[in-house]
């Protein structure tokens, strides 16, 4: 029996929530399954590990009943409770929920009253007039459903964080140009929380005349279709296929609206419960007191202060311990892009990069860095232009000359000579130790045969950690967003080995990688590991990817001191020399 991944198990609980909702079961039980599903999806380690340690019920949202169900799924690959639900509603009915405008009540009626179990059947029913026989289904509803089916069939894809940031910033620029009354505007939602992929864009605007901003938004040239528009909210489809939602509020409500619109849903529910405990009802408009009066907040700081908490950075707002930390005064001072002084993983034209070393170095200097490491690929199967011992020595001379020129001009900038050496499937390195010993810094990464068992994938990296010349493990899990799952690396074991051997774990900032991810970073830091955030740039422009890595580190609760490339050159040199 193939073992179930966290993702598989999260899917089961998500399906249970959908089916229960279609069956009109208790909405709080539905919410409980949904919350557990989300929590499981974000875990840094396999559920089997949590169970082995007896820690399943410490996962927020997982209690006795769901812990037992996780155990059953891990042991048998099945869940009797889920099987029984499927006898009452075919799981394919869930597909109807993907149609915008069709929720659980509608899906349930479509199934019970017309026997519809798929998008194709729904389309036929809508076109044939059969849908119109249902009470409450007028012409507009049916047209909406037909449009919704087309949207669902366009297999809505999540967009990479980097791409979403670009689109959001373009949208904000356009809105600023079109709405002169606009006082303030920003993106919110999962984009502001820095999730690695983003489903839709949430835009918040402040203006005295909110309606004028809504009108300007819905008539932007970027907008292909208006889904809905009211006095203060609008939802549109952009020409590029992304959905964008706008909330426009008076400037005095900016804080509450931004908090509301940033989410996450779980964070907001928890926050509103805290407000309730103090007799306050919180919404995007502010705090409603028991006597009906409204307390508005122009800043998020005021929003959190009202319930006695410090401001919580958006990247932490997942209801995964941030409230407890905030109450205890234990929120970390998160690393910021301006803390970054170095980039320790990048390529030049010596291997597969697109620029020479000097160009990369000058681009790094322009970003204000004090040092970089040039880490071209080692020669290894499947990699073109990888460097062998001889070419590495030639490269060393070029770097020495560049450093000498900087020193002669009194420029406080250094280039470290490194390599990105391949880790073979067995955990050996693709260059001999005596060659690695000549380098200033060694990044070790796995590139091929990433589909291994959890034991093999973990052992492979730990063997590399134990090599005394290895300083950094590059993109540890090898994931490629949208195309390749993370290798099943045991983060705890890797982090413990990294701590013991004083090896840095990388957050690779490549838009498709963001590897390690936030939850893994958080776990590694808890175990005492130190990380490094690197661009893996192959072009000077790619150095800007650092921003994405910093966001990912923040999602992992990283403080600047825990990130080795925030250290000065001297401190880092000292660290290297003590290894």
Partner DNA sequence: GCCGTTTTCGGCCCGACTGTTTTCAGTCG
Name the site residues for DNA (rule: CB under 7 A): 26, 28-29, 31-33, 35-36, 57, 60-67, 81, 97, 99-107, 135-142, 144, 189, 200, 202, 228-233, 235, 243, 245, 261, 265, 268-269, 272-273, 275-277, 281-285, 288, 327
Shorter beta-carbon distance to DNA: residue 57 or 352: 57
Residue 110 or 531 having the CB closest to DNA: 110
For the bound state, the minimum distance from the C-beta of residue 83 to DNA, rounded and expressed in Å, comes to 14
What's the CA gap between 535 and 512, in Å, rounded? 12
Q: How far is the CB of 57 from DNA (least distance, A)?
A: 6
Backbone angles phi, psi at 80, to 5 degrees: -60, -40
| Assigned token pair, 318 | 């997942």
Closer to DNA by CB, 66 or 342: give it. Answer: 66
Distances (CA, A) of 353 to 472, 500, 546, 555, 565: 20, 33, 17, 29, 21
Q: Which is nearer to DNA, 327 or 496 (CB)?
A: 327
- Supply the minimum distance, in Å, between the C-beta of residue 511 and DNA: 24
Q: How far is the CB of 258 from DNA (least distance, A)?
A: 13
Name the minimum Å distance from CB 40 to DNA.
Answer: 11
Rounded to 5 degrees, φ, ψ at 187 are: -95, 150
Q: Which is nearer to DNA, 276 or 568 (CB)?
A: 276
Nearer of residues 235 and 477 to DNA, judged by Cβ = 235
Measured from the CB atom, the residue of 140 and 409 that comes closer to DNA is 140
Q: Give min distance, CB of 91 to DNA, in A.
A: 18
Q: How is residue 344 written in tokens?
A: 């320790």
Q: Among 245, 234, 247, which Cα is nearest to 285's?
A: 247
Q: How far is the CB of 297 from DNA (least distance, A)?
A: 14
Closer residue to DNA, CB minimum distance, 192 or 345: 192
Identity of the residue, 106 or 197, whose beta carbon is nearer to DNA in the bound complex = 106
Per residue, the 3-state secondary structure of 27-91, as one string, reads: HHHHHHHHHHHHHHHCCCCCHHHHHHCCCHHHCCCCCHHHHHHHHHHHHHCCCHHHHHHHHHCCH
Q: How many Å apart are CA 367 and CA 512, to the nearest integer?
A: 22
Q: What is the DSSP letter of 314?
A: G
State the minimum distance, in angstroms, from the CB of residue 518 to DNA: 20
d(C-alpha 301, C-alpha 2), whole Å: 48
Question: Rounded CA gap, 188 and 195, in Å?
Answer: 11
How far is residue 323's CA from residue 270's CA, in Å, rounded to a whole number?
Answer: 8
* Of residues 340, 208, 315, the one with CA closest to residue 264: 315
The minimum distance between CB 73 and DNA, in angstroms, equals: 13
Q: Is 179 exposed, middle or buried (0-12, 13-18, 19+ CB in 10 A)?
A: buried
SS3 of 384-436: the string is: CCCECHHHHHHHHHHHHHHHHHHHHCCCCCEEEEEEEEEECCCCCECCCHHHH
């Amino acid at each position: 029996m193939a073992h179930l991944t966290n993702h598989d198990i999260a899917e089961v609980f998500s399906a249970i929530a959908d089916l229960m909702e279609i069956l009109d079961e208790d909405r709080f039980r539905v919410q409980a399954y949904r919350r557990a599903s989300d929590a499981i999806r974000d875990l840094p380690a396999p559920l089997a590990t949590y169970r082995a340690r007896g820690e399943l019920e410490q996962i927020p949202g997982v209690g006795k009943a769901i812990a037992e169900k996780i155990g059953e799924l891990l042991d048998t690959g099945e869940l009797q409770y889920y099987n029984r639900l499927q006898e009452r509603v075919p799981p394919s009915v869930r597909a109807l929920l993907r149609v915008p405008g069709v929720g659980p009540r509608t899906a349930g009626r479509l199934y019970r009253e017309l026997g519809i179990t798929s998008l194709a059947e729904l389309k036929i029913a809508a076109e044939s007039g059969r849908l119109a026989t249902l009470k409450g289904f007028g012409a507009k509803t049916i047209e909406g459903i037909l449009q919704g089916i087309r949207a669902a069939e366009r297999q809505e894809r999540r967009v990479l964080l980097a791409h979403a940031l670009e689109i959001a910033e373009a949208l904000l620029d356009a809105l600023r140009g079109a709405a002169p009354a606009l006082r303030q505007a920003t993106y919110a939602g999962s984009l502001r929380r820095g999730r690695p992929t983003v489903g839709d864009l949430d835009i918040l605007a402040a203006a005295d005349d909110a309606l004028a901003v809504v009108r300007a938004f819905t008539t932007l040239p970027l907008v292909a279709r208006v889904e809905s528009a009211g006095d203060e909210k609008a939802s549109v489809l952009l020409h590029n296929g992304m959905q964008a939602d706008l909330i426009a509020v008076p400037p005095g409500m900016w804080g509450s609206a931004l908090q509301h619109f940033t989410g996450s849903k779980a964070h907001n529910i928890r926050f509103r419960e805290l407000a309730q405990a103090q007799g306050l009802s919180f919404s995007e408009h502010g705090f409603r007191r028991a006597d009906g009066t409204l307390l508005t907040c122009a800043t998020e700081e005021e929003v959190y202060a009202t319930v006695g908490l410090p401001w919580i950075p958006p990247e932490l707002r997942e209801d995964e311990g941030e409230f407890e930390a905030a109450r205890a005064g234990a929120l970390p001072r998160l690393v910021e892009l301006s803390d970054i002084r170095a980039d320790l993983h990048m390529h030049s034209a010596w291997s597969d990069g697109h620029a020479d070393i000097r160009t990369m170095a000058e681009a790094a200097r322009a970003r204000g860095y004090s040092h970089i490491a040039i880490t071209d690929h080692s020669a290894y199967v499947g990699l073109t232009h990888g460097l062998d011992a001889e070419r590495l020595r030639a490269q060393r001379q070029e770097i020495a000359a560049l450093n000498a020129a900087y020193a002669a001009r009194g420029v406080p900038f250094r280039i470290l000579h490194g390599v990105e050496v391949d880790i073979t499937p067995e955990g050996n390195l693709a260059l001999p130790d005596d060659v690695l010993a000549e380098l200033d810094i060694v990044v070790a990464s796995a590139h091929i045969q990433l589909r291994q068992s959890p034991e093999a994938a973990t052992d492979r990296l730990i063997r590399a950690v134990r090599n005394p010349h290895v300083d950094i493990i590059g993109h540890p899990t090898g994931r490629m967003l949208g195309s390749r799952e993370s290798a099943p690396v045991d983060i705890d074991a890797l982090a413990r080995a990294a701590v013991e051997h004083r090896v840095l774990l990388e957050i690779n900032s490549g838009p498709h990688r963001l590897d390690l991810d936030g939850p893994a970073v958080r776990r590694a830091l808890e175990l005492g590991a130190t990380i490094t955030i690197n661009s893996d740039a192959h072009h000077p422009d790619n150095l800007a990817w650092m921003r994405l890595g910093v966001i990912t580190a923040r999602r992992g609760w990283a403080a600047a001191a825990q990130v080795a490339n925030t250290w000065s050159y001297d401190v880092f040199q000292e660290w290297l020399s003590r290894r």
